[in-house]
């Protein structure tokens, strides 16, 4: 990345979260980017220029007029090979859906031409969303998953991309032969990933991540090997945790010695300290599991739409916020059909209202601010200093034209943001930056 691309100033209506409770709204302001990092938001052009070490006359200012500039959105959990059939089989529950729709389709990604076409579609469409960073599941196939990583890199995303591990309870067409075979395939994946990094064919913004599908798919031997690998090579981990009641029962049958579901990951060293991991769902986590998540600094990827579609339930996010857990949002394509993290924000608020009304009236619904936080800074923290416009953060930003949402109603910046969150399809994406680099 050359400096000339990543030192510049963006002008527009700037909104970002600094905490779950606090959004900052700056109308007609200047967002300063130096070498891909935020250097603050200023009301005047002069103040903005003064912060830069570069000569002011050489610093381009891009004027986005009345548009909104918000941090790039972060999708903490999605499955790229499921994109092709999102919105299908929605009358099924998790385990049935995996067996009848998901597994047969994922098996096809052993064929590289099929994967190439499908991942092209996926990346092309994701470019048109406000998402800039994601944690992605591929399939068990190293080659196809490397191809996915390359395509995400070419499109400019920041991403963790995982070759999936599964050595039990999957159809023959998809199941890896043994724990050893699965582990070896992951080593192969990591080696080739490192080679592509060294060749500059995958950018440093795209990294591999250890990805055991979930406990029912992975033997303890495999889990142990993967946990050791993550620890030794300082790799992050992504997986699923306590998504549905049936799944939890299944895990307790498979692993009777584990105290609870999350304990299986803990035994493999994947629940934090030193490994950083992100667990999708946590809909039905027990108090012990929640304590473990908290103590391990584990990220929870809240996927409200998927949890609804698969009739899993509603994760107690108000409780997790009070506990101070690391929280982000995931589309969970294709448990979720939507690729939009704005939609995930709205979904998160909506299901929290139903949780409040139907389950526990002591758990107040999420606010817009909290949902926006989770979809930006909350999830962004998994990637480092990402997800806001405070000094020193990576400059990931999207520019949105909401003029299609104009109406006779008087609207300030807070109202405009609320309408974009609820009706993202009516706001046009005008530009997109990752680490200061314009990728759209």
Nearest alpha carbon to residue 66 among 428, 309, 332: 428
Which residues have a Cβ under 8 Å from the Cβ of 225 and sit 6 or more positions away?
179, 183
- 415 makes contact with a copy of itself (CB under 8 A): yes
Spatial distance between the Cα atoms of 420 and 406, rounded to a whole number of angstroms? 11
**Complex with a copy of itself: residue 41 or 321, whichever CB lies closer:** 321
Which residues have a Cβ under 8 Å from the Cβ of 16 and sit 6 or more positions away?
23, 24, 41, 70, 71, 376, 377, 388, 389, 390
Select from 59, 84, 196, 430 the one that contacts a copy of itself (CB under 8 A): 84
Stretch that binds a copy of itself, among 216-224, 231-239, 288-296, 363-371 (CB under 8 A): 363-371
- 308 makes contact with a copy of itself (CB under 8 A): yes
Determine contact, residues 395/33, Cβ cutoff 8 Å.
Answer: yes
Total residues at the site for a copy of itself (CB under 8 A)?
48
Nearest alpha carbon to residue 283 among 214, 355, 218, 366: 355
Measured CA to CA in angstroms, residue 14 lies from 132, 370, 388, 417, 419 at distances of 17, 17, 11, 10, 15
- 358 makes contact with a copy of itself (CB under 8 A): yes
Q: Compute CA 316 distance to the chain's CA centroid, rounded to the nearest angstrom.
A: 19
Radius of gyration of the chain (CA): 21
Select from 28, 60, 65, 87 the one that contacts a copy of itself (CB under 8 A): 87
- 88 makes contact with a copy of itself (CB under 8 A): yes
- 419 makes contact with a copy of itself (CB under 8 A): yes
Select from 114, 143, 197, 294 the one that contacts a copy of itself (CB under 8 A): 114
Select from 61, 267, 356, 391 the one that contacts a copy of itself (CB under 8 A): 356
Determine contact, residues 393/379, Cβ cutoff 8 Å.
Answer: no
Stretch that binds a copy of itself, among 17-25, 183-191, 231-239, 403-411 (CB under 8 A): 403-411
Stretch that binds a copy of itself, among 48-56, 87-95, 190-198, 260-268 (CB under 8 A): 87-95
Q: How far is the CB of 261 from a copy of itself (least distance, A)?
A: 18
DSSP code string of 251-288: HHHH-TTSSSHHHHHHHTT-SSTT--EEEEE-SS--HH
Residue labelled with tokens 């009070």: 322
Select from 103, 337, 373, 382 the one that contacts a copy of itself (CB under 8 A): 337
Select from 19, 117, 233, 273 the one that contacts a copy of itself (CB under 8 A): 117
Residue ranges that bind a copy of itself, judged by CB under 8 A: 83-88, 90-91, 105, 114, 117-118, 121, 305, 308-314, 337-338, 349-351, 353-359, 365, 367-368, 405, 407-409, 411, 415, 418-419, 421-423, 425
């Amino acid at each position: 990345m050359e400096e000339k691309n990543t030192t510049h100033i963006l002008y527009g209506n700037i909104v970002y979260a600094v905490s779950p409770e606090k959004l900052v709204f700056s109308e007609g302001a200047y967002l300063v980017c130096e070498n891909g990092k935020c250097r603050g938001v200023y009301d005047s052009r002069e103040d903005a220029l003064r912060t830069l070490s570069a000569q002011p006359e050489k610093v381009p200012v891009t004027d986005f007029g009345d548009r909104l500039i918000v941090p790039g959105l972060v999708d903490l959990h999605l499955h790229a090979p499921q994109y092709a059939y999102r919105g299908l089989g929605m009358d099924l529950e998790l385990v049935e859906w995996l067996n009848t729709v998901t597994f047969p389709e994922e098996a096809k990604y052993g064929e590289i031409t099929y994967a190439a076409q499908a991942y092209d579609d996926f990346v092309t469409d994701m470019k048109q969303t406000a998402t800039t960073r994601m944690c992605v599941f591929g399939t068990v196939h190293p080659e196809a998953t490397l191809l996915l990583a390359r395509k995400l890199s070419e499109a400019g995303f920041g991403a963790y991309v995982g070759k999936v591990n599964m050595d039990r309870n999957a159809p023959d067409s998809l199941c890896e032969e043994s724990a050893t075979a699965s582990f070896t395939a992951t080593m192969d994946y990591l080696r080739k990933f490192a080679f592509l990094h060294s060749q500059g064919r995958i950018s440093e913004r795209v990294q591999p991540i250890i990805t055991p599908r979930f406990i029912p798919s992975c033997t303890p031997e495999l889990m142990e090997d993967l946990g050791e690998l993550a620890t030794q090579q300082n790799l992050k981990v992504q997986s699923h945790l306590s998504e549905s009641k049936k799944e939890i029962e299944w895990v307790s049958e498979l692993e009777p010695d584990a105290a609870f579901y999350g304990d299986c990951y803990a035994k493999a060293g994947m629940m934090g300290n030193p490994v950083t991991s992100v667990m999708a769902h946590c809909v039905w986590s027990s108090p012990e599991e929640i304590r473990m998540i908290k103590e391990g600094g584990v990220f929870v990827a809240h996927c409200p739409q998927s949890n609804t579609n698969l009739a899993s339930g509603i994760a107690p996010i108000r409780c997790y916020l009070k506990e101070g857990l690391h929280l982000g949002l995931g589309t969970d394509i294709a448990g979720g059909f939507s690729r939009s993290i704005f939609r995930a924000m709205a979904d998160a608020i909506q299901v929290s209202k139903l949780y409040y009304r139907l389950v526990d009236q002591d758990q107040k619904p999420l606010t817009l601010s909290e949902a926006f936080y989770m979809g930006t800074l909350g999830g962004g923290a998994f990637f480092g200093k990402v997800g806001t416009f405070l000094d020193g953060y990576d400059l990931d930003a999207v520019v949105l034209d909401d003029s299609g949402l104009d109406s006779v109603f008087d609207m300030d910046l807070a109202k405009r943001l609320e309408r974009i969150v609820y009706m993202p399809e009516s706001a046009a994406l005008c530009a997109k930056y990752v680490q200061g680099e314009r990728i759209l």
